[in-house]
Amino acid sequence: MFQNNYLVIIPGIILAFVLYTLSQGFNNIIGIELLGYDKSPISTAMIAILLGMFFGNIFKVRDGFQKGLDFTREYILKFGIICLGIQLKPFEFLNFGKIAIPLIIICIISVLIVIKLLIKKLKIPTRMAYLISIGSTVCGTTAIMATAPVIKANKNEVSYAIANITLFGILSMLIYPYFANFYFDSEPLLVGLFLGTSIHETSQVAAAGLIYEQQFNSPETLNIATVTKLIRNTFLIIMIPLFAFLYNRGKTKEKNYSVLNIFPYFVLGFVGMIILRNVGDQLFISATNDNWNETIDTIKFFSKIFLTMAMAAIGLSTNLKDIKSMGYKPFIVGFIAMLTVGIVCIITIETYLNLII
């Protein structure tokens, strides 16, 4: 019985992996060959979901692939999120975190308040609002994918939220480097904090930092933006259980209901991977450090594969007609969320941060 169940999921997993491979190839062609970057600034996951949606809406996905695609969306996605923790080194961030963390917290709280008000005003689905808000405030697509199974969002809501975040993330990636240079008078620390806090995706932050470095000759800005974004990513540890609790609160009449019932336990794996990274960094400082770095790179590589496969599976299972039926209102929420993060970030930098820098 177990062997039969195992074999049933293989075709769907292979299909998701094939789309990952195609996405990576397109990404290299566009980002490296055409745009001339050493490393493509475009998110492979974004290309994967677009390819998946393209093929999934032109061709009907056979039933023989569906169980494997479901497995990829649910379990391989979680494996990818767990592996993401290996790239975070919070012990190194403590000194810089004194500046960046208050800024990040203020931005997160502000966006959550604004979106909470918009839910009532525009009457959009609560799950959609949660996905857009965590995507805007924490780490874009990764945050959406990590939160979706916790609040039981369906595949169309996930696809819509990702399309939302991708659109406004790309706009901010292209506009903010030039705006920040003008507004913050070319101050690397302030520009880096702004880029790292106000742009959704890690890849988009890296691209914006790279644009800034190349246009204004400031490698320091790229480093600050990247570190700020990685600190921001660690807030997944807090935000996913919080959203799980807020969404499920009051949805059950059981007296023994508690946050433990809906706690996303894969977050513990994410935390464990962070701990492993920091313990490993302390233990392998000697000549074996090269082997440890290779291990880290390998886990990062598999994280990228797992997440991109999950995105392809989501795209293949997404019906564009269903997304169209959701209307334009969630995009209004996404646009306002982008503006809110940017404006609050500027105000916070101009007030609190200028007092301590």
Domain-wise residue ranges, the chain? 77-356
pTM across the whole model: 0.67
The yes-or-no verdict on residue 235 having pLDDT over 60 is yes
Rounded-to-integer distance, Cα 127 and Cα 133, Å: 10
Rounded-to-integer distance, Cα 178 and Cα 151, Å: 37
Rounded mean pLDDT, 150-156 = 82
Q: What is the pLDDT of residues 73-120, one digit of tens each?
A: 878 878 887 887 787 665 555 556 677 888 888 888 888 888 888 877
Look at the block and give the residue holding tokens 């800005």. Answer: 221
- 230, 93 contact by CB (below 8 A): yes
Percent of the chain with pLDDT over 70: 84
Q: Report the first-to-last Cα separation within the chain, whole angstroms.
A: 63
